[in-house]
Amino acid sequence: MANSEKNFSFNHDTLFRYSKTDNFYFKPIKGGESEYKERYKKYLRDNKLFYKDIKHSTDKLILKRKRKVEKELKKAINDNTILFDFNQEFKLQSDVIYVSIIKGNADERTDYPTQKPEKLIDKIISSSSIEGDIVCDFFGGSGTTAAVSEKLNRKWICADLGKFAIHTTRKRIIEVQRDNKSKGTSYRPFELLNLGKYQREYFVYDSNEHSKLDQIKRLEKESQFEKLVLQAYEAQPMNNFRTFSGKKNLRMVSIGPVNQPTSRLQLEEIINECIAHKITKVDLLAFEYEMGLFPSICEDASDMGVDIDFKFIPNDVFDKRAVRKKEVQFYDVSYIEVKPIVKEKTLSIQLSDFKTFHNLDSLEKVSKSLNPGKNKVIVVEGKVIEVSKDKSGNVHQKVLTQKWIDWIDYWSVDFDFENRKELIRVKNEKTNDWEQKWTGNYIFDNEWQSFRTKSHPELELTTSPHSIKKEATKVVDIFGNDTMKVINVNMK
């Protein structure tokens, strides 16, 4: 909207509509009353601009007309009456859609940088689909498409590469469901699936053959993967060990599998090799860890005199630029502490502690590079710290996460975990038929959840009572990272 000396002021975005064939659905819709209010406001602004150059005029006729028009326009906005050529029912929607920005106090506002107004997406979905259709958005962002589709009784598939985007969408859909429930409107459950392993597929050699050539190819792929991770971790490669690939700062480095979670069995092999070679310090790097692994495995290793530091391998290891500039940050796993409360054959779960050890940026590096009068928020050893430098060059630090609960944005409980297997459809290459296949994972059902919103910033720390078989608790921190803990509870 800013004025430009070299161009007209940019006052619109353009939407492009595509169809695979000429046989597509489209239904004209009528413009909404809020849209016309926006048009009245625009006319009022234009009117004020029209009279801007003559505001000091002494012509009584001009001043009288100016006051009359402004009065009529204000009345039209307040009374929702129709002026100009909108004399009867609202006209059909034109190809110019007036949409206001999302105001700071709006219920739909998520503070996501690319968020689109629900009214705009509503018009697109309403005109291009019918109830029960599937609406897909593969750059989901803040989840506006999914939320509007849910409200309009459409099925939806929403995907995004960013953890924060998925987390924002999840909270938003739950709010829509809660609103529907309060109104007595039906709503459906949704599933959250993690399909982000495609960057690792290059390093997986999958063959049904067992020839020497296949074994050589598999070993070559594994070696490439280990070199990539060790380079990003800035560790020195090492040979002659079964479970260790490198060494860094007097600590051995072990790397988990590329295509599956690191299991208890693999950890036991690491501990056994540590004992055999009198190794006491290990960094274990993995994309995923088996559910329910922590904190018991840490205690077992510690009892045997082995200090294992568990870290996640970030997707940045596949970014050559980030590796070259040494910008890849490996962060430690988080731990959840919960307290089961059994009463009258029911169970409630109380969230009692959450430990995280994120490191995003270096305090020393930021302190040196920060310009005077500027500040930056970083994460060091599980603390969110605001680093600022005054005009004299003095560096100040302020810890923003004072309590463990400050790290938590969302937590939920599945009171009957492992009752729903995650099934996918795969094509049988021999028969060319589609078959169901179990991925080895289970679907986490968010039966109970508490999360922060603008209107409700406080978290509930104890669930409502449920009857259970096996309980699983999931915590999502303020960066969108998931941590899960599974416990067995004997109900007498």
Q: Which position has the higher pLDDT, 491 or 236?
A: 236
- Pairing assessment for the beta strands 246-248 and 251-255 based on DSSP bridges: antiparallel
In this model, does residue 336 exceed pLDDT 90?
no
Average pLDDT for 451-471: 83
Query: Do 219 and 239 touch, CB atoms closer than 8 A?
Result: no
Average pLDDT for 181-192: 81
Distance CA 217, CA 229 (A): 19
pLDDT digit string, tens, across residues 117-158:
998 999 999 999 999 999 999 999 999 999 999 999 999 999
- Mean pLDDT for all residues in the chain: 80
- The answer to whether the peptide bond before residue 340 is cis (omega within 30 degrees of 0) is no
Q: Which position has the higher pLDDT, 41 or 258?
A: 258
Average pLDDT for 424-453: 83
Q: What are phi and psi of 82, to 5 degrees?
A: -105, 130
Residues in the chain: 492
Identify the residue whose tokens are 């060494």. Answer: 247
Q: Which position has the higher pLDDT, 252 or 302?
A: 252
- For 82, the token pair is 């129709």
Average pLDDT for 393-411: 87
**pTM listed for this prediction:** 0.62
CA 318 to chain centre: 20
Distance CA 299, CA 489 (A): 20
Q: Which position has the higher pLDDT, 378 or 479?
A: 378
In this model, does residue 292 exceed pLDDT 70?
no
Average pLDDT for 377-405: 84
**From its phi and psi, is residue 382 left (phi > 0), alpha (psi between -120 and 50) or beta?**
left
- Pairing assessment for the beta strands 331-332 and 470-477 based on DSSP bridges: unpaired
Q: What's the 3-state SS for the chain?
A: CCCCCCCCCCCCCCCCCCCCCCCCCCCCCECCHHHHHHHHHHHHHHHHHHCHHHCCCCCHHHHHHHHHHHHHHHHHHHHCCCCCCCCCCCCECCCCCCCCCCCCCCCCCCCCCCCCCHHHHHHHHHHHCCCCCEEEECCCCCCHHHHHHHHCCCEEEECCCCHHHHHHHHHHHHHHHHHHHHHCCCCCCCCCCCCCCHHHHHHCCCCCCCCHHHHHHHHHHHHHHHHHHHHHHCCEECCCCCCCCEEECCEEEEECCCCCCECHHHHHHHHHHHHHCCCCEEEEEECCECCCCCCHHHHHHHHCCCEEEEEECCHHHHCHHHHHCCCCCCEECCEEEEEEEEECCEEEEEEEEEECCCCECCHHHHHHHCCCCCEEEEEECCEEEEEEECCCCCEEEEECCCCHHHHEEEEEEECCCCCCEEEEEEECCCCCCEEEEEEEEECCCCCEEEECCCCCCCCCCECCCECCCEEEEEEEECCCCEEEEEEECCCC
Q: What are phi and psi of 164, to 5 degrees?
A: -65, -35
pLDDT digit string, tens, across residues 368-390:
888 888 888 877 767 788 889 99
Lowest average pLDDT, out of 49-53, 244-248, 315-319, 418-422, goes to: 49-53
In this model, does residue 89 exceed pLDDT 60?
no
Average pLDDT for 409-426: 83
What confidence category does residue 159 fall into, taking pLDDT thresholds of 50, 70 and 90? Answer: very high
In this model, does residue 277 exceed pLDDT 90?
yes
Q: What is the model's pLDDT at position 418? A: 76
Q: What is the model's pLDDT at position 232? A: 92
In this model, does residue 228 exceed pLDDT 70?
yes
Q: Which position has the higher pLDDT, 70 or 138?
A: 138
Lowest average pLDDT, out of 142-151, 270-279, 306-315, 465-474, goes to: 465-474
**Share above pLDDT 90 across residues of the chain, in percent, rounded to a whole number:** 24
pLDDT digit string, tens, across residues 14-47:
999 999 999 999 988 876 555 555 655 665 555 5
Average pLDDT for 336-356: 86
In this model, does residue 82 exceed pLDDT 50?
no
Lowest average pLDDT, out of 43-47, 164-168, 356-360, 487-491, goes to: 43-47
What confidence category does residue 87 fall into, taking pLDDT thresholds of 50, 70 and 90? Answer: very low
In this model, does residue 396 exceed pLDDT 60?
yes
Average pLDDT for 281-308: 82
Distance CA 166, CA 192 (A): 9
Cβ contacts of 36 within 8 Å, gap of 6 or more: 82, 86, 90
Average pLDDT for 430-440: 85
Query: Do 197 and 223 touch, CB atoms closer than 8 A?
Result: no
Q: What is the model's pLDDT at position 154? A: 94
| Cα 174 to Cα 37, 410, 422, distances in angstroms | 31, 11, 21
